[in-house]
Chain A
Amino acid sequence: MVGPFIWMFITSLKTYDETIHTPMLWFPAKAQWVNYKIVADKYPFLILYRNTFLVVIGTVISQLFFASMAAYAFARLKFPFKNTIFLGMLCLLMVPSQIFLIAQYNVMVKFNLTNTIQALIIPHMFTVFGMFLLRQFFAAIPMELEDAARIDGAGTFRIYWQIMLPLVTPGLVALGILTMIGSWKELLWPLIVNSDMSKMTLSAGLAYLIGEHTTFYQQVMAGAVISVLPMVIIFTFFQKKFVESIAQTGIKG
């Protein structure tokens, strides 16, 4: 599974001649770190990373906020048509996303939002999946806690914000991580809605890089390493949380 990544790294340290040498050379004679500098100068990695950071943060925060609010209401409050609305949302969960893309794009055009960072965030702020995940966490909290707060005179919003939300932190972390991975890797939507390189995420920006230059593979691999490394570092630090979050999606009930 990791073999290809090792080859990616080794190639990134070769000279051009070494990459196309016959017979194949396994290792470079001398590590060419300069490849990284060339690639970093040639492509706007800083801008792409900044955009990606904004999109990921914006998407994660808004998803957590909106989804947890709705999840709390569905788990704990009683209101007319609750089950009908909930089941309606669940149905949407099963629909493949490409069915929404043309109309979502039309909405963005209508509001003049194409080629903006906002366009990459807005349609992804609302997550039925996340609401569903968090609802299970809210439902697992003992009712007595909430009752006690209510007797002490706390309003519904205070109960949600100050008492319930801290108790579902594991759920928020799980949803946050899953959203982060999804938003980081998202390719189709940025390709559709933005075409300006300065408004691209790394995911889409790198896809353009493929189109342009694929002769100098040592540079291309250096570019790939630059795009892989930060996430791998984050992952090694929070490995346990990542794994728990993914596992969460497969747990029954």
Chain B
Amino acid sequence: MFEGINPLNTLAFRDEIRGAMKKQKQRYNYSAYLYIAPILIGIMVFYLYAFFQNIWLSFNDVGIFGNRKFIGFGNYRTLFHDILFWRALKNTAFYAILGVPSIVILSIGLAWMLNQKIPAQSFFRTAIFIPAITLPAAIGLLWRWLYNSSFGLINHILGWFGIQPIFWLSDIHWVRWSILIVLIWASMSYMVIILLSGLQRIPSVYYDAAQVDGANTRQIFFRVTLPLLTPTIFFVSVVSMIGTFQIFDLIFLIIRPDSAAYQYANSLVTFFFQQAFALDLRGYGAAISVVSLILIFAVTAIQFRVQKRWVNYD
């Protein structure tokens, strides 16, 4: 879910190109094309060609048997007036706006705690990772049971505080929250690991210096740790933003497509899957994926713009 782009590496690569351009001594080695041929051909067929075919399809009305008719911006016009699309967009924004900050903040806290000298440290580090290797379907089964309105553990615990049972999986006002909670829970393991390794790379001289100056734990955390961790925090926020925009598994598995509440939890990707594959509206599905792409690019571009204000590169 979260592997893929590393913007920081992209920056590093740019510097490297500049360096490489300076020393143009080595001769051309044409056998290099043999080395890149397999991946290049694979990428051309399954990604490059697929990309352009998808864009072309989005301007077509595609029938079940693959018969196409060019309809220009027809799909996009339909999309613009489709209440399900706006709902999916609203939900995706909901997951992103509430989910990403929660994931990032909670993961920083947890990583920081795990970086302290605590008893059974290695046990906790193992435990934290389990959601990251658990099948989405197992997570779905587990949380459907936890969210069960009559016998679920969550409603039982809420009952201690006198809270009436909540219909987590069918109440149209609650389904988004049900997904949000699992999203945060399931995404944290991966982020904690990355942040933990970021914490461990902070040179101890900084801490020593702060201690000599008489800083307390709180000051050290906010004045030393956090600023030095900003590149990793930025990376983690970009990755969770992209991951959250791609959310599919949890909604599909926890709320289930046959439930009436499904459209109130729908994300852009579940909406895409429903239209393109469950209803076989390929052209319309293609248009949804193009709009999602534009939105992700816009959001990531904004994140990169804003990062200059708060990320420290030394």
Contacts and interface: CB of A to CB of B under 8 A. Distances in A.
B80 interface: no
B35 A70 contact: yes
B39 A131 contact: yes
Contacts of B289: 96, 98-99, 101-102
B242 interface: yes
Contact of A70 (B9, B36, B128): B36
Contacts of A171: none
B142 A98 contact: no
Interface in B250-303: 252-253, 256, 258, 269, 272-273, 276-277, 282, 285-286, 289-290, 292-293, 296-297, 300
A129 B38 contact: no
A126 interface: yes
A232 to B, nearest CB: 6
Interface string B118-142: 0000000111111111111110111
A8 B142 contact: yes
A81 to B, nearest CB: 10
Of B30, B35, B51, B272, most A-chain CB atoms within 10 Å:
B35
Given A1-B130, A184-B135, A250 B198 contact: yes
Contact of B185 (A1, A70, A94, A95): A1
A101 B31 contact: no
Interface string A222-234: 0110011001100
Q: Could you tell me the dominant secondary structure of chain A's interface residues?
A: helix
B197 A251 contact: yes
Contact of B54 (A79, A103, A232): A103
A243 B189 CA distance: 10
A203 B137 contact: yes
Interface string A1-22: 1101101100100000001101
Contacts of B35: 69-70, 72-73, 77, 160
Interface in B22-66: 26-33, 35-36, 38-40, 42-43, 45-51, 53-54, 57, 66
Contacts of A253: 8-9, 11-12
Interface in A47-84: 66-67, 69-70, 72-74, 77-80, 82-83
Given A79-B32, A95-B293, A253-B8, A125 B198 contact: no
Nearest to A178: B3
Given A188-B273, A203-B137, A209-B141, A252 B12 contact: yes
Interface stretch (B93-101, B143-151, B211-219): B143-151
A202 to B, nearest CB: 7
Contacts of B188: 1
A80 B53 CA distance: 28
B235 interface: yes
A93 interface: yes
Given A102-B285, A217-B148, A252-B9, A206 B232 contact: no
Interface of B: 1, 3-6, 8-13, 16-17, 20, 26-33, 35-36, 38-40, 42-43, 45-51, 53-54, 57, 66, 125-138, 140-146, 148, 150-151, 153, 156, 185, 188-190, 193-194, 196-198, 231-232, 235-236, 242, 245-246, 248-249, 252-253, 256, 258, 269, 272-273, 276-277, 282, 285-286, 289-290, 292-293, 296-297, 300
Given A202-B137, A227-B135, A235-B133, 20 more contacts: A8-B145, A20-B150, A70-B39, A72-B35, A78-B28, A83-B20, A92-B43, A94-B4, A102-B289, A103-B49, A103-B54, A103-B57, A105-B277, A107-B46, A184-B133, A188-B273, A211-B256, A227-B138, A246-B132, A252-B12
